[in-house]
Amino acid sequence: MPKRTGPLEMRLWGDPVLRRPCVPVTVVDDALRAVAIQMLETMYNANGVGLAAPQVGRNDRLCVIDVPSDAEKEEYVEANAAIPMPLVMVNPEILTREGEQTDEEGCLSFPSIHAPVTRADKVSFTFLDQNGERRTYTAHGLLARAVQHELEHLDGHVFIDNLADKTPIAVKLDKLEAKTKRRLGL
């Protein structure tokens, strides 16, 4: 992979880029790999476990995930052991969803905002890796949650779209959106 060039600017709630569906990547090349490295660095710098291209202002169907085994619930560590971290996922798709889990979820584009979100407990997904090779895995627990979360970003959706009641976080959401729009001149 190309060498690191530094973290990217994180796009926050209120930035229209977070609502734009991404376009499929047509070529996996050194330029895309360089972006993936920057995305990983940005994600690690922010202590995240996943990051999608729109969160750094890009419109590519590209996301990165790195769920450390010590962050995963014990029952899922072995189930996810065959999935190499970090994942660089180009044009990812979820194939199947099973079960249900509800847990607190946050997002790097929504700093200090968390809410309970219900998602599938197990997902099978496919993508092209950083070398353009097709990969297919089945993930459980936090990794399954991260895959679903990041792929939603690629479709112009954000985690708060899954909340039945935004009331507990409404004030924080409104403040963040207003601050972001002021900064962007919107």
Please name the CATH architecture into which domain 16-184 falls: Alpha-Beta Complex (3.90)
What residue spans define the domains of the chain?
A: 16-184
Binding residues for Fe cation: 107, 149, 153
Greatest CA span in the chain, whole angstroms? 48
Q: What tens-digit pLDDT sequence spans the chain (186 residues)?
A: 445 566 899 999 999 999 999 999 999 999 999 999 999 999 999 999 999 999 999 999 999 999 987 766 677 777 888 899 999 999 999 999 999 999 999 999 999 999 999 999 999 999 999 999 999 999 999 999 999 999 999 999 999 999 988 999 999 999 999 999 999 999
Q: Is the pTM of this model over 0.85?
A: yes
**Beta-sheet pairing, 115-119 with 101-105:** antiparallel
DSSP letter at 69 equals G
Residues serving a catalytic function are 150
Binding residues: 107, 149, 153
Task: Report the alpha-carbon distance of residue 66 to residue 40 in Å, rounded.
Answer: 8
H helices within the chain, ranges in order? 30-45, 74-80, 141-154, 170-184
